[in-house]
Structure 1
């Protein structure tokens, strides 16, 4: 079983009321000690990796402004994760370190150089969560009035990945010599121009950064649309997905592994990790009371603002009593809308009800119970081929992760489904081990 921790450099991850909980640390949100501490906690719990989701702007669709998102503590990414990861790398030695970076707004030479540098500085533990950005608000922060169409975004992302891989391979293994006696710093015959030229992307190369310990970072992806799934099946080594029920997870799992097979990839080359929220208590009744309390801190308006940003529709103009299934998507992320719709259609929730549910866990399953009960649920999903593991998102921070590592991880280890020690030194070794 593989475990990855979901993080953001802001008040909210998936649970939009969690930052208000008395046990959640919030005063240190801009301090390096916050991120160093959680990295140590997760490494002690033998997690495969952590990763930072990121948004290149503040959602301002709802009511035509960003007042709700900023004022009520929504998904506002306050620090650049690329600046945070090196600090976490310095206080750890095994856990993977993932970074979300847009293929839409960044040139592959810049991406390849930064990712190779981080992989060197972490001794081979970096993952790149590739996003083909979707929102107009992000586009405007980069001088574009509108986003390209979905197909074009992914076509461009394919070229970005092709160029990055060519740049990472521009230094062969063994090109860096560092031979003082002969004065040979590097072997030029093992360093090559790239001369990549696509429809949208051009790069001459070679990269200035030598080949990194992993050769290239682990590629992570979270696309849910048809085009997104095809992209992930080609490139992904970790797939982060939002599925709501066991059958949904199994359907996604089987579909994705089949797409990989069509591309000649073996199933073990990519792990499928659905998102899970966890609330743990010494007894089931204590756990349910804790869940009721933290869920009661959710702000419905913040949920409406968050969905607006995800699907590209200003929900403030719509009747909160109408079924979410009746909405027509004009722009934004089709994959995000499908995920939201999938999580609400069985219950026929109204827009307002769906918004509150979305603000609780972004519609991923919330597991509530004792450590044994949580372990039972995780093992059931894992054993029945609904997933290869999980992306855990915090309710209280850092308390949920601390509690999970101390109480649930030992049970998983005792059952023989989770590592007791790291056996490799790189993130890719953790995933393949």
Structure 2
């Protein structure tokens, strides 16, 4: 009997830093190609050769300026900046590959459903059914201001709008039947108008008439990804998500999140197998355990403490430079910020006995697995086999060095154990996620 196999998706940014804020300074991280298409063609080929399900780009609709009321730390120290629009980068990667799934982050709070459905539908058609939409509701007022708003709506309202945006997008993607194209030159019929329909969606927050001008893709519509950790975010994920990207500090937190979301799916009548829950991991590899530890220590020595705190300020939506060193997280809860950042800081403070300020500095490392290819594979196998997840999102410590090392050494070890595919089973991203 074949073993259950895990899914692997790569976490990418169109900028210097993914999660580890010192990684861009490492010798195995490249910088001279950061705005060059070859950078993205290369990583796409590396991931596809290793048979990754796909990759997705995290994104922000602006430039963080919460820390110290300025973007100085982010610009100077190499923060989590998105230099490029992911929807422009994905076609470059699609042209370089045949199977790799390709995901973009787009906010339901700032774009109309028609724009979203048209952008993503076009990408899905041109990639032959390999696109995913990482749905976010956005978490900072700076993004709202860039979209012509004074501030973000309340969190629950953003999710209410996101529900409607998804309903409207689905109606638009379904406005062309799968067999609407006729393409009969002799009869002079391009498409059957009886198989093209108005969407006629009317909600409280959004409305759209349709029909979409884009025929269906081979997978029907883009795969839906989501990363919300709040109670409302989990409900949204249980309703819509086919992939959930989550950040948890340890296995206990992974188990709680996994069981909670799968239970919510069942209550909604969705089979739990319809959604892959993938916690984020980063790795530092070495030929021996001691070499791996030395490499991790060197990597972490590259972290700029100010940038690490700036990243926490951005994630929380609160300027930590203006707070007392002994302030608690309870006093920071507001309309801005990501629940995932709050959860990670709280878990770190509890586990390591740190203040918020100390945890904010430590957060700059991401979650690292340090060891040999065998011991890293052991941890991934045990975590996967004991029901904590359906696979993993791999976030780079160095780019592209970490991905190259992982694909060269850890993936073959997982394949040897029957835990990861050796060939793609499907034509589309959705088919590969469901196989």
User: For the superposition of Structure 1 and Structure 2, which TM-score range results when normalised by the shorter chain?
Assistant: over 0.9
1:228 matched to 2:233: yes
Shift in Å at residue 181 of structure 1? 1.4
SS at match of 1:158: helix
1:104 is matched with which residue?
109
SS of 2:376 mapped into structure 1: helix
Return the alpha-carbon distance in structure 1 between the equivalents of residues 65 and 44 of structure 2.
32
Q: Counterparts of 1:264-343 in structure 2 under 5 Å?
A: 264-320=269-325, 322=326, 324-325=328-329, 327-333=331-337, 335-336=339-340, 337-343=342-348
How does the TM-score come out when normalised to structure 2? 0.97
Shift of 1:114: 1.0
TM normalised by structure 1 equals 0.97
Q: Distance in 1 between matches of 2:301 and 2:327?
A: 23
Write the distance in 1 (CA, Å) between the matches of 2:110 and 2:393: 26
Counterpart check, 1:55 vs 2:60: yes
Which position in structure 2 is the counterpart of 1:144?
Answer: 149
**Shift in CA distance, 249/422, structure 1 to aligned 2, threshold 3 Å:** same
Partner of 2:15: 10
1:264-302: CA deviation from partner (whole Å, max 9, x where unpaired): 010110000000010000110110000000011111111
Question: Does the CA contact (< 8 Å) of 1:311 and 1:331 recur in 2?
Answer: no
Residues 304-313 or 229-238, more deviating:
304-313
SS at match of 2:198: coil
Where has structure 1 moved over 6 Å in runs of 4 or more? none
Q: Which residue of 2 aligns with 1:378?
A: 380
Which residue among 422, 426, 429 is the counterpart of 2:428? 426
Q: d(CA) in 2 for partners of 1:381 and 1:191?
A: 46
Give the drift of 1:304.
Answer: 1.2
Q: Distance in 1 between matches of 2:189 and 2:87?
A: 33
8 Å CA contact retained: 2:152, 2:335? no
Residue by residue, what CA displacement relative to the aligned partner does 1:356-404 show, whole Å, maximum 9, x if unpaired? 211111xxx3100000000000001000100000000011110110110
Deviation at 1:323, TM superposition (A): 5.7
Cα distance in 2 between the residues matched to 1:237 and 1:403: 28
Separation of aligned partners in 2, 1:408 and 1:382: 15
Q: How many residues align?
A: 429
The one of 399, 409, 414 equivalent to 1:412 is 414
Could you say what secondary structure the match of 1:193 adopts?
A: coil
Structure 1 residue 157 and structure 2 residue 162: aligned? yes
Contact 2:315 2:338 in 1 (8 A): no
Q: 8 Å contact 1:243–1:343 — kept in the other structure? A: no
Which one of 57, 64, 72 corresponds to residue 67 of structure 1?
72
What does residue 369 of structure 1 align with?
A: 371
Deviation at 1:334, TM superposition (A): 5.2
- The answer on 1:118 being equivalent to 2:123 is yes
Residue 34 (structure 1) aligned to one of 34, 39, 42: 39
CA contact (8 A) 1:324 1:341 kept: no
SS of the aligned residue for 2:349 comes to coil
Shift of 1:63: 1.0
Unaligned 5+ segments in structure 1 are none
Q: CA RMSD of the aligned region, Å?
A: 1.0
Task: Report how far residue 341 of structure 1 moved.
Answer: 1.4
- DSSP 3-state at the match of 1:345: helix
Q: What is the CA–CA distance in structure 2 between the aligned matches of 1:311 and 1:396, rounded to whole Å?
A: 25
Q: Matches of 1:90 and 1:191 in 2, distance apart? A: 29
Match of residue 246 from structure 2: 241
Aligned counterparts of 2:335 and 2:308: Cα–Cα separation in 1: 19
Q: Do the aligned partners of 1:319 and 1:351 also contact (CA within 8 Å) in 2?
A: no
- 1:153-210 CA-to-partner distances (Å, cap 9, x unmatched) read 0000000000000000000010011111111100000000111000011100000001
